[in-house]
């Protein structure tokens, strides 16, 4: 019955046949795709979807809509689990995380008050602190670092700027040319002055230029927020974090590190040393829907000094009345700028506990190893040029002697055919294909086949 509920004693029984429908439609939908994308490009995809949808809001309902629309949704999806889906920091979610997320949807806790989310709020407190301790390993410090759960790197970066502004109302952002666009946008949102942008000549922040910029700006401690990047979106490069942290400490500048991509390296014993210096930042952006294999959304902002979070304290009598808080009901409203808030922590908690450090770290090692393998294939290939050895799991390459127009055309042709999803990045004033490898189960043959696809289209 279409009006049955997902929670309550009958919830699981109500869901069970519907899940069978969803799983069947995921199968049949995916089977129609020639590769990671549907064939035909935007107009064809939109036409097929329009036909599947028909009247979006009919007078009388259609009990087949779940099957019809999930089938069309899967048929027209970009499947991040396909080994040739490599354009973006768009990860294939783990089945275990997706299954856990279903429970969050069914129970529908909302993390704006304890009486809507008793277990969810307790779980979030524990797991957020545990993740904050990965960024800020325990030392002699008295205050316990904490982390806010966000919708992703964009919201985390906004919150980092907001917390800095609440420490100093006229804070000036200093970033490098390689910074994520969301930081600039956050200054606009918060009504802050235009950021000062220092050069990133080799794709990473130039520490000498940062030192000069901070000297020129002067001002008392805390009036400048430096934002460094650990894992640039274009090339996966990591700024020289220890140097930057030292310069910030000398100048009394606050430091934020946007580790939306690179933060995933914390999960790997082998790759974690690349993040040395991370713990010297006041705030750190993490994004487990990138190198963490979570369904969207799974962002975090780790905060070294939990006193910074007092800035978010907010009262709404129906959610956190003083006498309720005094009587011991946890006050959740100060953990986000959102009010109703999904329990994104459940899938994260289930993933961390199911896989443990060893298995999660191995996934990180695998995608980094795939990137190294792809780079080696390109490096010895007579018709391709490699931009550089990968730092994380991003590989930039281009056909030797090709023009930028060819690179852009080949990328769009492969998209329209549905055969491969490659990204693009402009570096050294040339256009490169970008392959961001996030599928731990990719095989060596998949990488060879990806290069063959590109080569085949370039030659024509």
Give the interface with ligand PLP as residue ranges (CB under 6 A): 89, 152-154, 157, 180, 182, 229, 231, 233, 258, 260-261, 287, 299
Contact 370, 393 (CB under 8 A): yes
Residue (86 or 223) nearer to ligand PLP, CB? 86
- Output the smallest distance, CB 291 to ligand PLP, in A: 10
- Output the smallest distance, CB 177 to ligand PLP, in A: 13
Contact 240, 267 (CB under 8 A): no
Residue (33 or 341) nearer to ligand PLP, CB? 341
Residue (320 or 393) nearer to ligand PLP, CB? 393
Q: Quickly list DSSP for 113-179.
A: SGGG-HHHHHHHHHHHHHHHHHHS---S-SSPPEEEEESSHHHHHHHHHHHHHHHSTT-EEEEETTS
Residue (203 or 299) nearer to ligand PLP, CB? 299
Distance CA(38)–CA(59), nearest Å, equals 31
Residue (439 or 458) nearer to ligand PLP, CB? 439
User: What's the residue count for the chain?
Assistant: 460
Pairing mode, strands 430-436 and 394-399: antiparallel
- Output the smallest distance, CB 79 to ligand PLP, in A: 19
The CA R_g of the chain, rounded to the nearest whole Å, is 24
Distance CA(315)–CA(367), nearest Å, equals 44
Contact 104, 124 (CB under 8 A): no
- Output the smallest distance, CB 15 to ligand PLP, in A: 29
- Return the biggest CA–CA distance within the chain: 73
Distance CA(267)–CA(20), nearest Å, equals 34
Distance CA(331)–CA(104), nearest Å, equals 21
Residue (248 or 438) nearer to ligand PLP, CB? 438
Residue (35 or 203) nearer to ligand PLP, CB? 203
- Output the smallest distance, CB 456 to ligand PLP, in A: 30
- Output the smallest distance, CB 459 to ligand PLP, in A: 33
- Output the smallest distance, CB 260 to ligand PLP, in A: 4
Strand pairing partners for 384? 399
- Output the smallest distance, CB 445 to ligand PLP, in A: 28
Using CB atoms within 10 A of its CB, is residue 459 exposed (0-12), middle (13-18) or buried (19+)? exposed
Residue (164 or 453) nearer to ligand PLP, CB? 164
- Output the smallest distance, CB 258 to ligand PLP, in A: 5
Integer angstrom CA distances of residue 162 from 139, 254, 256? 26, 12, 11
Integer angstrom CA distances of residue 402 from 171, 416, 433? 45, 20, 11
- Output the smallest distance, CB 178 to ligand PLP, in A: 9
- Output the smallest distance, CB 262 to ligand PLP, in A: 8
The DSSP letter of residue 421 is B
Residue (157 or 320) nearer to ligand PLP, CB? 157
The DSSP letter of residue 335 is G
- Output the smallest distance, CB 351 to ligand PLP, in A: 17
| Percentage helix, strand, coil for the chain under 3-state DSSP, each rounded to 5 | 50, 15, 40
Distance CA(276)–CA(257), nearest Å, equals 12
The DSSP letter of residue 328 is T
Using alpha carbons, select from 71, 65, 26 the residue that is nearest to residue 48.
71
Residue (89 or 377) nearer to ligand PLP, CB? 89
Name the CA dihedral angle for 253, 256, 257, 261, rounded to a multiple of 10 degrees. -160
- Helix (H) or strand (E) holding 410, with range, is helix 404-417
Residue (384 or 387) nearer to ligand PLP, CB? 387
Residue (295 or 399) nearer to ligand PLP, CB? 295
């Amino acid at each position: 019955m279409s009006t049955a509920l997902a929670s309550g004693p009958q919830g699981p029984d109500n869901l069970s046949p519907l899940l069978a429908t969803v799983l069947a439609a995921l199968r049949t939908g995916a089977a129609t795709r020639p590769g990671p994308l549907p064939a035909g490009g935007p107009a064809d995809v939109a036409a097929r979807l329009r036909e599947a949808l028909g009247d979006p809001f009919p007078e009388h309902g259609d009990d087949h809509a779940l099957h019809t629309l999930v089938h069309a949704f899967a048929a027209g999806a970009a499947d991040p689990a396909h080994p040739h889906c490599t354009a973006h920091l768009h990860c294939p979610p783990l089945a275990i995380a997706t299954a856990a997320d279903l429970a969050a949807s069914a129970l529908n806790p909302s993390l704006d008050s304890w009486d809507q989310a008793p277990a969810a709020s307790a779980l979030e407190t524990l797991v957020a602190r545990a993740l904050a301790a990965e960024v800020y390993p325990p030392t002699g410090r008295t205050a316990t670092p904490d982390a806010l759960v966000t919708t992703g790197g964009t919201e985390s970066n906004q919150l980092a700027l907001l917390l800095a502004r609440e420490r100093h109302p006229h804070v000036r952002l200093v970033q490098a040319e390689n910074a994520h666009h969301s930081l600039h946008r956050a200054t606009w949102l918060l009504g802050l002055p235009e950021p000062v942008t220092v050069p990133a000549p080799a794709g990473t922040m130039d520490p000498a230029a940062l030192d000069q910029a901070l000297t020129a700006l002067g001002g008392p401690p805390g009036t400048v927020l430096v934002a460094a990047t650990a894992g640039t979106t274009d090339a996966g490069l990591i700024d020289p974090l220890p140097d930057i942290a030292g310069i910030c400490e000398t100048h009394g500048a606050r430091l934020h590190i946007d580790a939306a991509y690179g933060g995933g390296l914390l999960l790997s014993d082998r790759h974690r040393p690349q993040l040395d210096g991370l713990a010297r930042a006041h705030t750190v952006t993490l994004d487990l829907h990138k190198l963490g294999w979570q369904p969207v959304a799974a962002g975090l902002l780790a905060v070294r000094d939990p006193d910074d979070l007092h800035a978010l304290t907010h009262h709404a009598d129906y959610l956190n009345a003083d006498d309720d808080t005094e009587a011991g009901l946890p006050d959740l409203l100060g953990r986000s700028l959102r009010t109703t808030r999904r329990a994104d922590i459940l899938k994260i908690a289930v993933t961390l506990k199911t896989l443990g450090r060893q298995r999660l770290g191995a996934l990180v090692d695998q995608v980094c190893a795939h990137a190294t393998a792809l780079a080696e294939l390109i490096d010895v290939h007579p018709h391709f040029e490699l931009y550089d050895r990968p730092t994380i799991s991003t590989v930039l390459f281009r056909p030797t002697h090709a023009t930028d127009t060819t690179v852009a055309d080949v990328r769009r042709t492969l998209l329209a055919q549905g055969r491969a999803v490659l990204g693009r990045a402009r570096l050294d004033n040339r256009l490169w294909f970008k392959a961001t490898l996030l599928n731990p189960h990719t095989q060596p043959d998949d990488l060879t086949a990806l290069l063959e696809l590109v080569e085949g289209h370039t030659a024509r």
